[in-house]
Amino acid sequence: MVDDASITAAIKNKLLWSKHASGLTTDVDTSWGRVKLKGTAVTAAARNAAGILARNTQGVRSVDNQLVVEASDKPNTDTSAMQDVADAWITMKVKSTFGYSTNVDGSDIEVSTANGVVTLRGTVESGAEQALAIELAGNVRGVKSVVSAELKHSS
């Protein structure tokens, strides 16, 4: 069983390294596996991505996404910083994201990264798990694209 403090830490870690985190200020409160997200996001996409990351964390029973969308007046300088992120770090972060996911079993997924392009190979249980694995990998900071032609599902 995963305790609330571990769930909160895992979600904060996922949010910190998400490509949608720029301008995201989030408080994460977990009680009995029920997560409440409070704070601001600069776009609706960032708000939704935070909810998805939280929902797909091991031990989470429900998510109450109370993030409010507030546009930032700061210029987005994140692009150049993302390009500097090392491929080895991206690979490790994608694998870690799968490890913390309730709905993706990353043990049968091989992850490699070259110039920010993540390649997923292996087998998953379903098309839904395949789609989620691709989405989770694509949400990691520094990922330019995800190649998944060799990620198959058994059903």
We report the CATH number of the domain holding residue 119 as 3.30.1340
Is residue 74 in a domain?
no
State whether 22 and 43 are in the same domain. yes
Q: Is residue 45 predicted with pLDDT exceeding 70? A: yes
Cα–Cα distance measured from residue 31 to residue 141, given in angstroms and rounded to the nearest whole number: 28
Cα–Cα distance measured from residue 19 to residue 139, given in angstroms and rounded to the nearest whole number: 6
State whether 94 and 59 are in the same domain. no
The pLDDT of residue 71 is 72
For the segment 61-77, the average pLDDT, to the nearest whole number, is 79
CB atoms within 10 A of CB 139: 21
For the segment 49-75, the average pLDDT, to the nearest whole number, is 86
> From residue 26, how far is each of 35, 118, 143 by CA, in Å?
12, 27, 22
For the segment 123-149, the average pLDDT, to the nearest whole number, is 93
State whether 83 and 64 are in the same domain. no
For the segment 6-22, the average pLDDT, to the nearest whole number, is 81
In sign, the C-alpha dihedral spanning 83, 84, 90, 93 is negative
State whether 28 and 90 are in the same domain. no
Q: Is residue 141 predicted with pLDDT exceeding 90? A: no
Q: Which domain holds residue 119?
A: 79-153
Kind plus residue range of the DSSP H or E element containing 65: strand 62-69
Match 């198959």 to its residue by tokens. 152
